[in-house]
Structure formats: C-alpha cells, structure tokens
Structure 1
Amino acid sequence: MLVIENLSHMFRNGGEDTVVLQNINFRVEKNEIVALLGSSGSGKSTLLNLMAGLMKPTSGSILIDNRAIEKMSENELAEFRRSHIGFIFQSYELIPHLTVRENVELPLVFQGVRDKARREQALALLEQVGLGQKTEMFVSQLSGGQQQRVSIARSLITNPSVVFADEPTGNLDTKTEKEIIDLLLDLNKTLGMTFVIVTHEHEVAKRTKRIIQLRDGVLVEDEDWGGENE
C-alpha cells in the first residue's frame, strides 16, 4: 500500500522558492493499477522521484507498506528500494553486454541470492512476459517492445511492494504500446502486483482502472474509470 499525505515540495533557486507540488493526498491500495497523469510541468516527475525515495519532500509523508520513507537515511532508502520498489523506465535502462536473463537477475545479485535461485526466478518471469525463447540473447538483439518486456521482468524479480512505470510506452509505436499496457494489466491480475503508471498520454491512462491527475502541482482528479482492470 502507498499512502501520500499532505505532500508538498519546493525548489530553491537563489533566494526564490518555486512550489512544485501543493498538498497532495491519495492512496494506492495493494494490487491496484493506477495512472498518474500529467503534462510536462505538472509536477508528476517530481512526485515520482519523491514516491521512489530519490528525493526528500519539503513537507508531508510518503508511506509504503506503512513505512515512512521520508524519514529514512540514504542507506536505509537504498536498501528499501532494492527490496520494496520496482522501476520500469521509458528508455529501458538495460545493460547491453549482459544477456536478457542476466539483466533480469541483476537486482537479485545485489541481494546476494544464489545463482540457481536467481536463474530459476528470472526464467519464470521471462516466460511470463513472453520472452521464454530469448533468455540467452543480448538485449541489443531485441526490439524496443521486447526490451521493455525485459525491463518489466527485471522490475518484478524482487517481488516489490509497488512498481513505478515511468512513461513505459514513450518510445514505442501504437501497436507495441497496447501490447505493453496489456501485459501490465495481465501481470497486475495474475501476480497481484501494484503498479503506478506515470504518463502524459490520456489513452494510456484510460487503460487503467483509476487516474490520479496532476495539473500545476495540484491534484485535480482522482477518478475511478471502472476500466479494463476490474
């Protein structure tokens, strides 16, 4: 569960403060899939960085699994992210000299998981995302949509409490975009995984069941669409 309470954030430029987020309140329940929708300058990237523990808020709280991450030290945050937070990036952020399987295994390497267990978990996830026949290929040999599937599998390998997907279809064509959102919806149902999809695209956001919309740093909508994920 993710709970945002009275969250505000400002940046100081010289002697001037610029307010980016103002009094944001919402919650994402376990096993939900929601969209955080906003245009450039809306504050959604700052909110994502705060929720992921990459920045500290000016005020307010961010709870993941009932733990206030804004109170954690940098070392505590790093450890917490490794086990509780998954990331899916627009640009995939894969390591080209590693195979598909090795890229997916990497978070478990940092956790000290043994080789055999890492391999078994990675292979199972790659099968689930439709890449069971490509596990020993290098990621540079894959299409953009396939690389994003690798990124998705890697984000799930630690069984995180929440997965943040930052513009996950931003580099993809319309057909592949639909396939990737279909996959996220399916994983949400079959694995019970919690997803927050950060996007500026209304069509992507409307595929989820619920939209949290930001405009000029303010929460303007938190709407249940009764969408595809019921």
Structure 2
Amino acid sequence: MLRVEQLSHSFRNAQGRIPVLHNIQFEIAKGEMAALLGSSGSGKSTLLHLMAGFMKPESGNIYIGEQDIVRMNENRLAEFRRKHIGFIFQSYELIPNLTIRENVELPLAFQRISASQRKKRALLLLEQVGLTDKTELFPSQLSGGQQQRVSIARSLIPEPSIIFADEPTGNLDTQTEEEILSILSRLNKELHTTFVIVTHEAEVADQMGRIITLKDGYLMDEQKLQTVR
C-alpha cells in the first residue's frame, strides 16, 4: 500500500542546508495500522507531509499503491490526494460556518457525486463515529473529542486508500484520547483502511499494530505487534 524508498530531505535557511531526513525506507501493507513515533525534531512531521503529498522530497520515492506521488505534477497530485488520501489534523481544521454534516461532505464537493449521495454517506460516517444526534450542529457547539470524530469521518468520506493522522489525540485528555484511538482501531478493522498515525507518545504507538520509529531524521528500530491492544 505505502512504500517509501531512499527518501531524504532538507530545508534551507540563511545559514545553509539543514538535513531533516536521511535515506528513509519502509513499507506498510494494505489494511495495516502503523504508528510513526518520534520526539519533537525527529523528522516525523516532515515525513508525514511528504507521504501525504503536501511537499516534494529532495530525493527518493513514495509509492501509494503502484503510484509514485513524487513524480506527479501538481494537478495530478491534487486529484490523486482527493481520491486516495485522507488526513486527520491535530487541530481538527473544521470550517466554523458549516454544519458537522457539511464539513464531512466537503471533500466530495469537487467530485461528480450528487448532493443526496454526499449527504447519505456523511450521515452514515457520522453514525459510525457516534455523532448521529449532532449532524446539524456547528463545530463550536462540540467538544474537542467530538470535533476530532468529525475530522475522522471527513477523512473517510472519499473512501481513501490510506489515511494519515497528525497527532490526532494531541489536544485531548486521557479518557477522550482512548475513545478516539478505539474508534480508529474499530474503523481500521471494519473498513480495512490503512492508517499511519504520527505521535510522540509511546502509549499511543503501543496501541497500533506496528511501530516505526524516527530519531534525528533516521529510521530506527521497528516493532511489529502480534495483536493491537
């Protein structure tokens, strides 16, 4: 599903080139739920944005399915992201003047899908994340955990091949964090959607099926767990 090959990247500032990632290589199979674990400055956020197609690497390849997104031009990449990549933000990134249902429908607005079909799918996904009674409310009327559930539903609506989550529980208390992780695990099992979850918390990573660790821009050890706890 996801294959990263010899990926390196750096940023430039007034002082020169600052290496961030060094020859990263790994694969994630279809339906896996993997954690990308690292402390601040490890390069995990840069790697996440490269894999999601928000940035281009200096060198290397990123395959989603059989498609190398590094070689795509901007128009083709934008279209590929809309259809095949879902993203869950730490800060939810909901549009405040749209209802919960409208926020979830939004990724389908640029596709040839009727309004009735968009609404039907949004309502189904909101039911799956436990928000059936909140569909016509606005983001400001929801708690942080409920807003993150909306973000999860929105990431799933285009039926993507893979979902990237950037510290999805970083703004939540411990109990709500457990609820969100439980929802992600259940959806992974039910929908067989591939999840890559970036976190700096070992406790979060331990609940994934696999852990990929970054340190100072280098790929460290991998841990593949027999069962997802």
Q: Which category describes the TM-score, using the shorter chain as reference length?
A: over 0.9
Alpha-carbon shift at residue 211 of structure 1 (Å): 0.2
Alpha-carbon shift at residue 50 of structure 1 (Å): 0.6
User: Counterpart in 1 of 2:63?
Assistant: 63
Q: Greater CA deviation, 9-18 or 187-196?
A: 9-18
Q: Is the 8 A contact 1:122 1:153 kept in 2?
A: yes
Task: Output one character per residue of 1:23-59: Cα deviation in whole Å (capped at 9) or x when no partner.
Answer: 1010111110000000010000110111011111111
User: Counterpart in 2 of 1:25?
Assistant: 25
Q: Greater CA deviation, 96-105 or 11-20?
A: 11-20
Which residue identity does 2:78 align to in structure 1? A
User: Counterpart in 2 of 1:86?
Assistant: 86
Is the partner of 1:147 in helix, strand or coil? helix
Is the partner of 1:107 in helix, strand or coil? helix
- The answer to whether 1:152 aligns with 2:146 is no
The answer for unaligned runs of 5 or more in structure 2 is: none
Matched positions, count? 229
User: Counterpart in 1 of 2:169?
Assistant: 169
Q: Is the 8 A contact 1:206 1:227 kept in 2?
A: no
Determine what percentage of the aligned residue pairs are the same residue.
65
Is the partner of 1:168 in helix, strand or coil? coil
Please, what TM-score do these two structures have when normalized by structure 2? 0.98
- Measure, in 2, the Cα distance between the counterparts of 1:108 and 1:126: 15
Task: Output one character per residue of 1:50-98: Cα deviation in whole Å (capped at 9) or x when no partner.
Answer: 1011111111100001100000111111111111100000000001111
Alpha-carbon shift at residue 13 of structure 1 (Å): 2.3
Please, what TM-score do these two structures have when normalized by structure 1? 0.97
User: Counterpart in 2 of 1:48?
Assistant: 48
Is the partner of 1:110 in helix, strand or coil? coil
- Measure, in 2, the Cα distance between the counterparts of 1:184 and 1:15: 42
User: Counterpart in 2 of 1:77?
Assistant: 77
Which residue identity does 2:47 align to in structure 1? L
Alpha-carbon shift at residue 180 of structure 1 (Å): 0.2
- Measure, in 2, the Cα distance between the counterparts of 1:143 and 1:16: 43
RMSD value, Cα: 1.0
Alpha-carbon shift at residue 226 of structure 1 (Å): 2.1
User: Counterpart in 2 of 1:16?
Assistant: 16
The answer for unaligned runs of 5 or more in structure 1 is: none
Alpha-carbon shift at residue 15 of structure 1 (Å): 6.2
